[in-house]
C-alpha cells in the first residue's frame, strides 16, 4: 500500500495553500539582523560599488534608516564602523568618542527596542587592516585579547545590547566576558563568530568597511574552508568560554557546517549570509540571469532549513518586503 500509485507525493503540492500548510521551514523578518556601515562625518550616504543598495551612512542619517528597518519588522542591526583615523593599535575602536560609540545612542534613541549588536574587531580600525595587534609581522593573539575586551566594554558602556566578536582570536570570548562582567555588564550577551572561515566571499565587505589587510591574508587566524570537525571544536571552545549565541560564517557555501553545529549544540545559532553571497545574486539579477526575489528567498530558506535561528543578511530589508507581499 505504501507505493505508487497509491502513494503520490504530488497530492500535497497541488496548490499554494496546501504547500504552505506542510512547509517545514518558514522565514520571517523576525529572523534577520541587518548590517549597517557607519561612517564618520555628516551627511554621508555612499553606495558600495559591489553591494548595490547598501550604503555607508553617517550617524546623522541613521535615525531614519533604523526607523525603516523597525517598520519592516526586522528586530536587530549589527553595526560596523568606519573610523576617522586608523593606527597600528586600532585605538579608535575603543574610544568613547569613536564612530560606533556615538552611533549606538543615536540608534537606541530613534528605536529603543531595536536590538543593537556591535561587531567587535580591529580590522576596520588598524592601519594594517588585520584583526589583531601586529608584533614582528604577525598577529599576536594574546596581546589582542586585552584590546578586544576594551572594545566590547566601550560598546556596552555606550548602550550596545549585544557584542559580536569577529576577530577569531583564541580566548577572546572569555576575555570579553571578563571585561564586561568586571564593570557590571553581566547581562550583555556575546554572539561569537565561532566558526568563521578565511573566505574569499568577504571581498565586497572589505570595500564597504575599508578593511582589506595591507599585507598577507587572514588565513593564520580564520578557519580553513575544507574543515568541518574543526568548526565543532571552535564552537565548543566559544561555548565553554561563555558565548550566548554562536555563528557560522559564511552561510551559503557552509550549510553543512550550520547543520553539524545545529545537531551538536543547543545554543542559538546565527549564520552570516555574507557580502559576496549578496553580490553574486545582485550581479546575476542585474544581468537578468536570475530572479532576485525568488533566489534570495530560496537561499534564506536554505540557511534556515540547515539549522540557523538567526540570519545576518544584506537582503533583510528587501526580503522583509517580499515576505509581506508573499
Cell numbers linked to 249: 560564517
Distance from C-alpha of 66 to C-alpha of 72, rounded to nearest angstrom: 10
Identify which of residues 62 and 121 has a Cβ nearer to ligand PBG in the complex: 121
Q: How far is the CB of 117 from ligand PBG (least distance, A)?
A: 12
DSSP output for 102-161: HHHHHHHHH-TTSEEEEEE-STTTBTT--SSEEETTEEEHHHHHHHHHHHHHHHHHTT-S
Identify which of residues 63 and 295 has a Cβ nearer to ligand PBG in the complex: 295
**Sign of the C-alpha dihedral computed for residues 101, 48, 201 and 297 taken in this order:** positive
Residue nearest to ligand PBG (CB): 205
DSSP output for 153-193: HHHHHTT-SEEEE-S--TTHHHHHHHHHHTTT-TT--BEEE
Q: How far is the CB of 310 from ligand PBG (least distance, A)?
A: 15
Q: How far is the CB of 209 from ligand PBG (least distance, A)?
A: 7
Identify which of residues 150 and 218 has a Cβ nearer to ligand PBG in the complex: 218
Identify which of residues 94 and 202 has a Cβ nearer to ligand PBG in the complex: 202
Give first-to-last CA distance, the chain, whole Å: 37
Q: How far is the CB of 158 from ligand PBG (least distance, A)?
A: 19
Q: How far is the CB of 218 from ligand PBG (least distance, A)?
A: 6
Identify which of residues 232 and 312 has a Cβ nearer to ligand PBG in the complex: 312
Contacts of 200 (CB under 8 A, 6+ apart): 276
Which one-letter DSSP state was computed for residue 224? P
What are the residue numbers of the active site?
Answer: 196, 249
DSSP output for 244-301: SEEEEESSGGGHHHHHHHHHH--S-EEEEE-HHHHHHHHHHHHTTSS-HHHHHHHHHH
Q: Which residues bind ligand PBG (CB under 6 A)?
A: 119, 121, 123, 131, 166, 202, 205-206, 218, 274-275
Amino acid at each position: 500500500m505504501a507505493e505508487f500509485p497509491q502513494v503520490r507525493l504530488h497530492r500535497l503540492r497541488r496548490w499554494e495553500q496546501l504547500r504552505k500548510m506542510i512547509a517545514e521551514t518558514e522565514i520571517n523578518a523576525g529572523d534577520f539582523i541587518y548590517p549597517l556601515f557607519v561612517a564618520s562625518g555628516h551627511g554621508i550616504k555612499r553606495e558600495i560599488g559591489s553591494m548595490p543598495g547598501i550604503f555607508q551612512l553617517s550617524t546623522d542619517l541613521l535615525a531614519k534608516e533604523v526607523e525603516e528597518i523597525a517598520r519592516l519588522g526586522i528586530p536587530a542591526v549589527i553595526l560596523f564602523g568606519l573610523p576617522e583615523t586608523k593606527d597600528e593599535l586600532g585605538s579608535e575602536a575603543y574610544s568613547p568618542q569613536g564612530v560606533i560609540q556615538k552611533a549606538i545612542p543615536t540608534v537606541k534613541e530613534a528605536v529603543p527596542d531595536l536590538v543593537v549588536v556591535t561587531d567587535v574587531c580591529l580590522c576596520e580600525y588598524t592601519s594594517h587592516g588585520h584583526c589583531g595587534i601586529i608584533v614582528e609581522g604577525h598577529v599576536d593573539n594574546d596581546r589582542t585579547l586585552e584590546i578586544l575586551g576594551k572594545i566590547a566594554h566601550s560598546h556596552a558602556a555606550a548602550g550596545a545590547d549585544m557584542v559580536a566578536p569577529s576577530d577569531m582570536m583564541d580566548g577572546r570570548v572569555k576575555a570579553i566576558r571578563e571585561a564586561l562582567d568586571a564593570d557590571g555588564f553581566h547581562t550583555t550577551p556575546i554572539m561569537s563568530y565561532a566558526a568563521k572561515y578565511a573566505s574569499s566571499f568577504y571581498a565586497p565587505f572589505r570595500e564597504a568597511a575599508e578593511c582589506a589587510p595591507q599585507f598577507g591574508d587572514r588565513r593564520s587566524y580564520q578557519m580553513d574552508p575544507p574543515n568541518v570537525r574543526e568548526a565543532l571544536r571552535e564552537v565548543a571552545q566559544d561555548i565553554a568560554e561563555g558565548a550566548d549565541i554562536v555563528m557560522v560564517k559564511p552561510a551559503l557555501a557552509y550549510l553543512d557546517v550550520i547543520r553539524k553545529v545545529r545537531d551538536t549544540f543547543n545554543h542559538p545559532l546565527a549564520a552570516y549570509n555574507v557580502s559576496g553571497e549578496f553580490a553574486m545574486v545582485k550581479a546575476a539579477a542585474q544581468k537578468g540571469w536570475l530572479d532576485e526575489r525568488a533566489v534570495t528567498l530560496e537561499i534564506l530558506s536554505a540557511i534556515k532549513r540547515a539549522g540557523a535561528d538567526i540570519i545576518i543578511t544584506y537582503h533583510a530589508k528587501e526580503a522583509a518586503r517580499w515576505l509581506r507581499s508573499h
